[in-house]
């Protein structure tokens, strides 16, 4: 395809679609142009920035006909920050768009005709994130902290984040300006100098317990006592202050060593009536209100009577497994991160759920082995990462033929691809329920229910 437009062209286009990173899509004789910030149903005057063989990029010069769903972004740093992509679209508009996105991929990728229910959204879609990972840095002489720009490691300095907790804001507003007084230098990614890399703030919604983790370049931390005193003053409900040491030149936030500076090693949260102890590095869903909605939906689809054996593949710290274990005869969870499996076992004990078994390893190897050993399930639950289920796992499902599969997905495209494979192997997708776990971002979670036919 040759591009029908060239760099620096100015033209007026109709926006037809929206990508998950917040770009409007205009088509010129079938050639897609991505226009950052434009919304479907808008007519915009654009300036072409760059053209490649199969697609190009343009920026808005003027919105001639705005979408009825266009709103002013609430956050003052929305244009620079890479955290949110959809604040210029009303929340009702975001939910409509997420439903359409799921519908489109089911048709285009999955070639599946299935009822897709309206997205379950939040009543109040703000301050929902229970975990903030705040990068610290310096701008000239001033300490800065906030969030990264889109596809970049440049820090957008901010005092408040509208999707995070007030406790995270307390670190931005209270700790950042005190760093010089405490004698703590933020880490500078370019010079590799400085001490404080990230501050991670996690809040348990049910108990309101807070954990603060200071990620430092070195173990030696002479200002630790003063930092602890200040954090306790800024966040009265803090229950745990930890130090994690990351001396590597890497983008990964955490290093391997975590030490206790003050208080407990874990905080406790509840999802429904299941209790969880969460440690500094455990994976835990970031939107606790919607996690409950998601898990209830998954449980509904599993339709457990108390007689079923359930396999929970990609189980993390066993959150879904334990949620199911209250209603099932037996639950077996498998997860690739050994530490998460340790957490799952500990949390099973904490809840007195002895009808569970957890094993660390790749789901696509462990579940076929279980099958050979005669350990099978009536209901199979999968909750894979964005890339979807491993093919070997899908093949085992088709061989083993559990009567019901519940698929929790954070990526509608790979969900649609995998549902096609399961449908070809004898399953029927009965329903898909999208759940908005990440308001104002382009991410979309969905649960699919399949029955063997
Ligand atoms: N169900 C959990 C976690 C879902 S996230 C919850 O709701 O909290 C997906 C999980 O899959 C992660 O914990 C990741 O470590 C795990 N994972 C990734 N690849 C895997 C594989 N091949 N086998 C088993 N688990 C895997």
pLDDT 10s digits, 339-372: 899 999 999 999 999 999 999 999 999 999 999 9
How many residues belong to the chain? Answer: 453
| CATH value of 99-123+287-452 in 3.30.230.10, 3.90.950.20, 3.40.50.150, 3.40.1010.20 | 3.40.50.150
190 band by pLDDT with thresholds 50, 70 and 90:
confident
Residue 103 scores a pLDDT above 90: yes
The burial of 192, by beta-carbon neighbours within 10 Å (0-12 exposed, 13-18 middle, 19 or more buried), is given as exposed
β-strand pairing of 445-452 with 404-409: antiparallel
Tokens 């929305």: give the residue. 78
Tokens 């050639």: give the residue. 31
Q: Is the dihedral of CA 297, 302, 306, 312 positive or negative?
A: negative
Average pLDDT over residues 250-266: 94
**DSSP H stretches of helix in 235-270:** none
Under a CB-based contact definition with an 8 Å cutoff, are residues 247 and 218 in contact?
A: yes
pLDDT for position 372: 93
Under a CB-based contact definition with an 8 Å cutoff, are residues 352 and 378 in contact?
A: no
Phi, then psi, of 73 in degrees rounded to 5: -65, 140
Average pLDDT over residues 80-102: 96
pLDDT for position 68: 97
CATH topology of domain 131-267: OB fold (Dihydrolipoamide Acetyltransferase, E2P) (2.40.50)
Least confident of 20-24, 48-52, 220-224: 20-24
Cβ–ligand 1 distance for 320 under 6 Å, the answer yes
90 band by pLDDT with thresholds 50, 70 and 90:
very high
**DSSP H stretches of helix in 18-84:** none
Residue 1 scores a pLDDT above 80: no
Domain ranges of the chain: 10-65, 99-123+287-452, 131-267
Residue 133 scores a pLDDT above 80: yes
Nearest to 135 by CA among 181, 81, 196: 196
- Taking the C-alpha atoms of residue 85 and residue 415, their distance in angstroms, rounded to an integer, is 22
Torsion of CA 151, 153, 154, 155, to 10 degrees: 110
DSSP string, 209-221: -EEEEEEESSS--
Q: Is 314 annotated as a binding residue?
A: yes
pLDDT for position 141: 84
% pLDDT > 70, the chain: 100
Cβ–ligand 1 distance for 319 under 6 Å, the answer yes
Cβ–ligand 1 distance for 262 under 6 Å, the answer no
Residue 282 scores a pLDDT above 90: no
Q: Is 371 annotated as a binding residue?
A: no
Beta bridge partners of 443: none
Q: Catalytic residue numbers?
A: 410
Q: Average pLDDT of the chain? A: 95
Structure tokens at 41: 């149903």
Distance 285 CA to ligand 1 centre (A): 11
Residue 188 scores a pLDDT above 80: yes
Distance 185 CA to ligand 1 centre (A): 36
pLDDT for position 152: 87
pLDDT for position 20: 85
Average pLDDT over residues 367-384: 96
Nearest to 205 by CA among 297, 286, 263, 133: 286
pLDDT for position 21: 86
Q: Whose CA is nearest to atom 21 of ligand 1?
A: 362
Which ligand 1 atom is nearest residue 295's CA? 7
Average pLDDT over residues 310-318: 96
List the beta strands (DSSP E) in 158-265. Answer: 196-203, 210-216, 238-245, 257-263
Cβ–ligand 1 distance for 361 under 6 Å, the answer no
pLDDT for position 250: 86
Under a CB-based contact definition with an 8 Å cutoff, are residues 193 and 186 in contact?
A: no
**DSSP H stretches of helix in 90-223:** 91-105, 166-170, 179-182
Q: How many CB atoms lie within 10 A of CB 385?
A: 12
| Superfamily of domain covering 10-65 | Nucleic acid-binding proteins (2.40.50.140)
Q: Which of 314, 340, 380 to mutate to test the pocket of ligand 1 (most atoms within 8 A of CB)?
A: 314
β-strand pairing of 238-245 with 404-409: unpaired
Q: Is 335 annotated as a binding residue?
A: yes
Cβ–ligand 1 distance for 308 under 6 Å, the answer no
pTM more than 0.85:
yes
- Taking the C-alpha atoms of residue 332 and residue 202, their distance in angstroms, rounded to an integer, is 28
Under a CB-based contact definition with an 8 Å cutoff, are residues 22 and 86 in contact?
A: yes
- Taking the C-alpha atoms of residue 438 and residue 80, their distance in angstroms, rounded to an integer, is 19
Q: Do domains 10-65 and 131-267 have the same CATH topology?
A: yes
Beta bridge partners of 333: 312, 358
Rg (CA), the chain: 24
DSSP string, 179-191: HHHHTPPBP-TTT
Under a CB-based contact definition with an 8 Å cutoff, are residues 26 and 33 in contact?
A: yes
- Taking the C-alpha atoms of residue 453 and residue 112, their distance in angstroms, rounded to an integer, is 15
Structure tokens at 306: 């108390």
pLDDT for position 189: 84
Structure tokens at 122: 């939040």
DSSP type of residue 116: B
% pLDDT > 90, the chain: 93
Packing angle of the helix pair 412-424, 91-105 (nearest 10 deg)? 30
pLDDT for position 95: 98
205-240 pLDDT tens trace: 999 999 999 999 999 999 999 999 999 999 999 999
């Amino acid at each position: 395809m040759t591009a029908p437009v060239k760099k620096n062209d100015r033209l007026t286009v109709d926006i037809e679609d929206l990508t998950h990173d917040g770009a409007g899509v205009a088509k010129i004789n079938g050639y897609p142009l991505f226009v950052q910030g434009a919304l479907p149903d808008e007519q915009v005057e654009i300036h072409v920035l760059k053209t490649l063989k199969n697609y190009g990029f343009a920026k808005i010069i003027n919105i001639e006909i705005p979408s009825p769903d266009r709103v002013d972004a609430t956050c003052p740093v929305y244009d620079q920050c890479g955290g949110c992509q959809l604040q210029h679209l009303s929340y009702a508009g975001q939910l409509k768009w997420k439903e359409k996105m799921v519908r489109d991929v089911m048709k285009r990728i999955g070639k599946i005709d299935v009822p897709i229910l309206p997205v379950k959204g939040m009543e109040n879609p703000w301050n929902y994130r229970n975990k903030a990972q705040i990068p610290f840095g310096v701008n000239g002489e001033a300490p800065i902290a906030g969030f990264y720009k889109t596809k970049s490691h440049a820090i957008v300095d901010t005092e408040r984040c509208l999707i995070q907790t007030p406790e995270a804001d307390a670190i931005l507003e209270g700790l950042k300006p005190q760093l010089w007084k405490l004698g703590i230098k933020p880490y500078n990614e370019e010079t590799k100098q400085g001490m404080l890399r990230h501050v991670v703030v996690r809040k348990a919604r049910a108990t309101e317990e807070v954990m603060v983790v200071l990620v430092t370049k070195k173990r030696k931390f002479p200002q630790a006592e003063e930092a602890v005193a200040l954090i306790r003053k800024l966040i009265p409900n803090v229950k745990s202050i930890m130090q994690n040491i990351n001396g590597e030149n890497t983008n990964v936030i955490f290093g391997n060593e975590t030490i206790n500076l003050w208080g407990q090693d874990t905080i406790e949260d509840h999802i429904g009536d299941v209790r969880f102890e969460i440690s500094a590095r455990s994976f835990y869903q970031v939107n606790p209100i919607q996690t409950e909605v998601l898990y209830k939906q998954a449980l509904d689809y599993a339709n457990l009577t108390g007689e079923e054996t359930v396999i929970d593949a990609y189980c993390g710290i066993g959150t879904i497994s334990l949620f199911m274990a209250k209603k099932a005869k037996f639950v077996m969870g498998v997860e690739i991160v050994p530490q998460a499996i340790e957490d799952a076992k500990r949390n099973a004990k904490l809840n007195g759920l002895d009808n569970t078994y957890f094993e660390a390893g790749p789901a696509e190897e462990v579940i076929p082995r279980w099958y050979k050993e005669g350990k099978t399930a009536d209901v199979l639950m999968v909750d894979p990462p964005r890339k979807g289920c491993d093919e070997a796992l899908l093949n085992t499902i088709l061989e083993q033929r559990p009567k019901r599969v519940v698929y929790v997905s954070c990526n509608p495209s790979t969900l649609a691809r995998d549902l096609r494979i399961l449908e070809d192997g004898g399953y029927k997708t009965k329903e898909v329920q999208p759940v908005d776990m990440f308001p104002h971002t382009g991410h979309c979670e969905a649960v699919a229910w399949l029955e063997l036919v």
